[in-house]
């Protein structure tokens, strides 16, 4: 199941599991080393899913889109911005314990049979390409507001590949077993497809991974030469497949590591000490932002204003809105008298309920006078805002925080205000 929340949930549980193959009895000439077969690749993948889930819990919350995004969850705007590793790293993340449990059961149901029939290297290739297919499917179909995570693209690749073996596995499996795979596959695919239509489930990721798995096995691309490896010990072909699997998983592990390093999940609970200086496009102002925040200009309500946003509440603990007004105060005004005038105006506009100013007071930040506001939105939620005269321009900065934002982030809100300044001419 692959969840979307603007998160993505896993492939559906295998309620009707296909018959498991626990020995080499299906082969006409079974190799001796498959009789005591142990699915080490399947177990290694499951261990990696558990390890990443533990990292989610340590760095934040396993159900928070902020934590998931910082660890490499799929998010279309980030992928378009060049963070392509999210197409793979998202396949190792899960949204809560139930999500992980369901996907772990599915992996344990499909993995051992495929690992035995295909061999470990081909199985690892199948899983990696299924994960990529799921990531691409989610990326293509997802809206800009969805953060998605889950192993279900890869798991649907396994499920579809197992079904395809019922048709294209004649040189690997006896007809009786292939008949069982076909019958079970129809029920499994139908049931999981229905579950994929439920809200919060990423249907595109499921279909993307399933299509890849079915094509790899149905076209015999992944099974070609496997019989020779088993019967004639064709080590040359086996070495080529092993090298391809090693390369594919080097890319997968690299994507996961890049997602962690670039996403900086350790910043979820506490803001970093070092922020970067970001220029406000179309102006000569700048302010400091945390490393993972992006700044963009947005349409302003007034023609003489410039508006910007930094951060996203689905991705970060805080988000910031900045407005710059070109109009300057009347002749003879200075920041102090301007702040006093703004305070008087804010107090007159104060409302005990509804949208508008709830509280207002004059404050001095970094030696500059501002009016600090508590502003209520249409929904009744309140957030802090600051208004003042800065280097000849009227500035308003609003900071929005998630309900689950760590206290350390809330304490850092004022840093956005104190770092805002006009850039020195070069």
Count CB atoms within 10 A of the CB of residue 26: 18
**What CATH number is attached to the domain comprising 241?**
1.20.1540.10
pLDDT, residue 44, reads 97
316 noted as active-site residue: no
One domain for residues 29 and 164: yes
283 and 230 fall within a common domain: no
Which among 210, 233, 267 is the end of a domain? Answer: 267
Sign of the C-alpha dihedral computed for residues 195, 199, 200 and 206 taken in this order: positive
Pick the catalytic residue: 89, 138, 152, 196?
Answer: 152
pLDDT at 311: 92
Q: Give the tens place of pLDDT for each residue, 282-314.
A: 888 999 999 999 999 999 877 778 899 999 999
Shared domain for 62 and 172, answered yes or no, is: yes
pTM for the full predicted model: 0.84
Rounded CA-CA distance 143/419 in Å is 33
Residue 215 and residue 117 in one domain: yes
Task: Quick: pLDDT tens for 64-103.
Answer: 999 999 999 999 999 999 999 999 999 999 999 999 999 9
**Are 134 and 72 in a shared domain?**
yes
Let me know whether 229 and 281 are in one domain.
Answer: no
Chain-centroid distance, C-alpha 40: 28
Q: What is the pLDDT of residue 68?
A: 96
Q: How many domains does the chain have?
A: 2
| CATH number of domain containing 409 | 3.40.1000.10
CA-CA distance, 323 to 416, in Å (whole number)? 13
Residues 90 and 216 in one domain: yes
pLDDT at 159: 95
Last residue of a domain, one of 228, 246, 267: 267
By three-state DSSP, how is residue 421 classified? strand
Is the same domain home to 262 and 375? no
Interval 347-395: pLDDT, tens: 666 666 667 788 888 888 888 888 888 888 777 788 999 988 887 788 8
How high is the pLDDT of residue 224?
Answer: 84
- Helix, strand or coil for residue 181? helix
Are 160 and 215 found together in one domain?
A: yes
Low-confidence ranges of the chain (pLDDT < 70): 1-35, 144, 169, 228, 231-236, 326-334, 346-354, 424-426
Q: Is 206 a catalytic residue?
A: yes
One domain, residues 296 and 329: yes
Helix (H) / strand (E) element for 383: namely strand 382-390
Whether 250 and 320 map to the same domain: the answer is no
Q: Which domain holds residue 46?
A: 3-267
Among the listed residues 206, 312, 316, 321, the single catalytic one is: 206
Judgement on whether residues 164 and 199 belong to the same structural domain of the protein: yes
φ/ψ region of 312 (left if φ > 0, alpha if ψ in -120 to 50, else beta) reads beta
Q: What's 245-312 look like in SS3?
A: HHHHHHHHHHHHHHHHHHHCHHHCCCCCCCCEEEECCCCCEEEEECCCCCEEEECCCCCCEEEEEECC
What does each C-alpha distance from 9 to 303, 312, 322, 367 come to in angstroms?
A: 43, 22, 35, 50
Q: Which of 236, 267, 298 is the last residue of a domain?
A: 267
- Helix pair angle (120-141, 97-118), 10° resolution: 140
The predicted pLDDT at position 349 comes to 66
pLDDT of residue 376: 84
Taking each helix axis from N to C end, the angle separating 97-118 and 152-168, rounded to the nearest 10 degrees, works out to 30
């Amino acid at each position: 199941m692959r969840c979307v929340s603007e998160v993505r949930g896993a492939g559906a549980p295998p309620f009707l599991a296909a018959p498991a193959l626990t020995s080499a009895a299906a082969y006409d000439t079974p190799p001796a080393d498959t009789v005591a077969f142990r699915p080490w690749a399947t177990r290694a993948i499951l261990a990696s899913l558990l390890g990443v889930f533990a990292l989610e819990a340590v760095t934040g919350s396993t159900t928070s889109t902020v934590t998931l995004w910082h660890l490499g969850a799929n998010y279309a705007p980030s992928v378009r911005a060049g963070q392509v590793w999210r197409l793979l790293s998202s396949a190792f993340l899960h949204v809560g314990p139930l999500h992980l449990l369901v996907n772990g059961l599915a992996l344990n149901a499909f993995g051992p049979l495929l690992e035995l029939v295909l061999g470990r290297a081909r199985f690892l290739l199948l899983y990696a390409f299924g994960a990529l297919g799921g990531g691409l499917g989610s990326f293509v179909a997802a809206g800009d507001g969805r953060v998605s995570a889950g192993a279900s693209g890869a798991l649907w690749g396994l499920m579809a590949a197992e079904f395809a073996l019922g048709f294209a596995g004649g040189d690997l499996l006896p007809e009786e077993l292939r008949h069982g795979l076909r019958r079970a596959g129809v029920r499994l695919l139908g049931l999981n497809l229905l579950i994929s239509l439920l809200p919060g489930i990423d249907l595109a990721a499921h279909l993307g991974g399933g299509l890849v798995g079915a094509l790899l096995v149905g076209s015999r691309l992944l099974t070609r030469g496997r019989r020779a490896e088993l019967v004639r010990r064709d080590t040359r072909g086996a070495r080529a497949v092993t090298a391809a699997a090693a390369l594919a998983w080097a890319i997968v592990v690299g994507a996961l590591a890049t997602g962690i390093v670039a996403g900086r999940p350790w910043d979820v609970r506490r803001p970093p000490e070092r922020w970067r200086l970001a220029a406000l496009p179309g102006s000569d102002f700048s302010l400091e932002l945390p490393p993972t925040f992006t700044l963009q200009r947005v349409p302003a309500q007034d023609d003489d204003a410039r508006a910007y946003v930094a951060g996203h509440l689905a991705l970060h603990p805080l988000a910031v809105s900045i407005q710059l007004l070109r109009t300057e105060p009347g002749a003879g005004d200075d920041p102090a008298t301007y702040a006093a005038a703004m305070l008087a105006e804010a107090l007159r506009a104060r409302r005990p309920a509804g949208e508008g100013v709830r509280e207002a007071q004059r404050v001095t930040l970094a030696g500059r006078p501002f009016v600090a506001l508590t502003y209520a939105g249409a929904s009744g939620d309140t957030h802090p805002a600051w208004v003042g005269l800065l280097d000849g321009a009227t500035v308003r900065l609003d900071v929005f925080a998630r309900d689950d934002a760590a206290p350390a982030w809330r304490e850092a809100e004022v840093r956005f205000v104190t770092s805002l300044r006009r850039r020195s001419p070069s």
